[in-house]
Structures are given as structure tokens and as C-alpha cells.
Structure 1
Amino acid sequence: MDALDALHQRVSTAKLADPAPTPSQREAIFRAATRAADHALMRPWRFLVVEGAGLDQLGELFCQAARHDDPDLSEKDQDSLRRKPHRAPLILVAIARCRENPKVPVLEQQLSAGAAVQNMLNAAFAQGIGAFWRTGKMAYHPVVDEGLGLTEGEQIIGFLYLGTPVKPFHKPKPLDLNQIFTPWPPQ
């Protein structure tokens, strides 16, 4: 797929199934992350690769976090949390690794981590792989952070779900670029 076509047509795909991306597809996705804008070459990101039994463990971690907040959490809600990681055969947990730098504020480092995720979304789409980026309550929960081994200065940017699209990609609706891009100064 042409690079501009991929950028102009990319959409998220929430219905994913096996198989997960192949090793060569993964390498292309992973390499795309490393080309994100990165002031001072800090590489302020890292990624956990979760699949197979790891999806079950992530679901249990989600339950543990939710029970921390609500010890009386219903079994139905716990089952729902256990199933969330199984929405795709592969999840990449995107983590911003922010460090002190007089020239690169924390916000820039977080944005770089987000840009790395966007690059992976684009690389997945260009290869016909379905993907969607989720955050939600579990992305900001200290029990999840601890369970995933985050250290000081690290935070989850999101969960990138990857797999085979169940349905063909839909066409994105065109946007009125004049509503988004305006000349400045006004004339």
C-alpha cells in the first residue's frame, strides 16, 4: 500500500480475530514505532508484548485492579474484565518512559510515545492488520502499573490491540479540512 494512501485511509478496527501478526509483520510494526518524533533521541517509550496466556494474566490483573476499588465487584463484571484482553490475539502495552531533561519536557516525551503508537497503527493498517488503541480506567490504575512492572516516571499511554480484521476495513468519512486548518493571522 502506498504510504499516503495508508495515512489517508487508516481506520481503527475493533473486531479482531486470530491470527496475530506474523513475525515479519510485527518487526515492521515495531520498527515503525522507533521512527516516532523523538526530541534529543531519548526514546521515551517501551512496549510490552502480550499474547497467549499473557492475555489471561492481563485479564486477571484488570480484575485485581477493579476489586481493589470495589471489593464487592460482581462476578459478571469480573468476567467482563477478564475477556477484555481477548478482543485481539496480540496486545502491545505502550508505556511512556519519562525522564528529567532540561530541553525535553515530560509532555514532549509523552507525545513521542503517542506518536510511536500512531506509527504502529499506520504500519499495521498498511499491512492489512486490524488495530485499535484503547486506554480506559485500567490504563491509569496503579495496580495495573505495578502488575506490569512500571517504574518511576513511566505511565501507560494505551493498549494497542492487533489481529486479523473480522470485516473488511470501512472507508473513513471525509472531513472538511477548512474546518480544521485555518490561516493565521486572520485576514
Structure 2
Amino acid sequence: MTGMDTRTPLDFLLTRRSVPVRMLSAPTPDDATLRQLLTAAARVPDHGKLVPFRFAVLRKPAVDRLARVTQDIGTAQGRDPDKLVKQAQAFLDAPMTVAVICTPRPDTPIPLVEQEQTAALACLSLVNAAEAAGFGGHWLTGWMARDRDFLQAALGLEPPELVAGFVHLGTPRGEPPARPRPDPDAITQWIET
């Protein structure tokens, strides 16, 4: 672990970067640290206080199993073999993964889209908490996040549950590459009246 981040909160948000999964390695957060990261990740806006998500912590053997399930189910479904290799490799490269599982409640007046957004915010919060604690994280989805066959075989999920994100965690090996960021002026409209 490289240690706690010392940037100011705003500087942290202005400069944060996800670490590509291939650049993550052991050590991963220990159980006590991971509990802190999950506590931070759970502090997200949540209309109706439904907590429409839960976490599944996947240690290395379980993550490797997800790689095999990705390859097996994707092949059986006729998915692009080259893409399957890349998708399975992301699991193989990950030293630890937290599946953020969206657990929507259709029996409430809170729109499902808002419940899914809350689960997605937990993914981003987990990546940010990991970086703030000196680790690295990367949030991925892919077809596996919503495919019923994969969700059942890999995680035992039943409808309406799905995966908001697979958050891969570890220690960064080097500085993550810079990537272009949007120009706020190009994507912002100022409305006065």
C-alpha cells in the first residue's frame, strides 16, 4: 500500500484516475481496511433509503472462477472470442474484486432507474475510497453484469438482481496512464432564465 492520499479533497477529485486492472497487484486491502472502504462506498445518495445494493467480495480463487465462467458462457452464447479473452483476462488480472450487486425493489414508488443509479454510485465511491486509502481500483461491467446465465452461474443471482459493477482492487504497479478528459466548457450550458 502506498499510504493514505494527501491531496485536498477537491484536488483528489480533480486528479483521480482509475488504475487499469492489468496494473493492479497484491497486496489488496486487508479485511479491516476493506470494511472501511465498503462503509465509505455505502454512503451514497439513496432516494427512499432503500439501500438497493449489496457487496460480494471475491478473493482471488473466486475471481479466477469468474474468468472461467465468462469464457464458458460467452463461448456457449457465440460471443466474439477475442473480446471474451479480454473480458476473462480482466478477472484473471484482478487480485480482488467486489461485485456491487444492484438489488432493486420494484414494489416501491422509487423509480428503478434511481435505484440502479444508487448502486452505480456505490461503485464509484468504492473506487474513490480505494484510491484515497492508497490502493487502486477499476470499475468494469460488460455483458456479464446483466446476462442472466452469467449472473446465475457466477454469483447465484436471480432477477431482478444484476451487477452494477465489478470493482477490481489492488495495489497499483506504477502510475496509471493519463487519458483525455472532457472540457467542461464544451459540455456545460449556463441557463440564466
Give TM-score scaled by structure 1 length: 0.86
Report 1:1-150 matches (<5 A): 1=6, 2-14=8-20, 15-70=23-78, 82-147=88-153, 148-150=155-157
Identity between Structure 1 and Structure 2 (%): 28
Task: State the shift of 1:114 in Å.
Answer: 0.5
Which one is further off, 16-25 or 168-177? 168-177
Question: Does the CA contact (< 8 Å) of 1:64 and 1:143 recur in 2?
Answer: no
Q: Which runs of 5 or more structure 2 residues have no equivalent in the other structure?
A: 1-5
Question: Does the CA contact (< 8 Å) of 2:63 and 2:94 recur in 1?
Answer: no
Question: Does the CA contact (< 8 Å) of 2:60 and 2:94 recur in 1?
Answer: no
Task: State the shift of 1:55 in Å.
Answer: 1.9
Task: State the shift of 1:170 in Å.
Answer: 5.1
Residues 180, 54 of structure 1: CA spacing in aligned structure 2 closer, same or farther, 3 A cutoff? Answer: same
Question: Does the CA contact (< 8 Å) of 1:48 and 1:92 recur in 2?
Answer: yes
Structure 1 segments of 4 or more deviating over 6 A?
Answer: 76-79
Report the 3-state secondary structure (helix = DSSP H, G, I; strand = E; otherwise coil) of the residue aligned with 2:105: coil
Supply the distance in 1 between the matched residues of 2:84 and 2:178 (Cα, whole angstroms): 35
Give TM-score scaled by structure 2 length: 0.83
Instruction: Give the alignment's Cα RMSD to 1 decimal.
Output: 2.5
2:167 to 155, 160, 171: 160
| Residue type of the alignment partner of 1:166 | R
Residues 46, 16 of structure 1: CA spacing in aligned structure 2 closer, same or farther, 3 A cutoff? Answer: same
Report the 3-state secondary structure (helix = DSSP H, G, I; strand = E; otherwise coil) of the residue aligned with 1:145: helix
Equivalences, count: 184
Supply the distance in 2 between the matched residues of 1:27 and 1:171 (Cα, whole angstroms): 29
Which one is further off, 58-67 or 32-41? 58-67
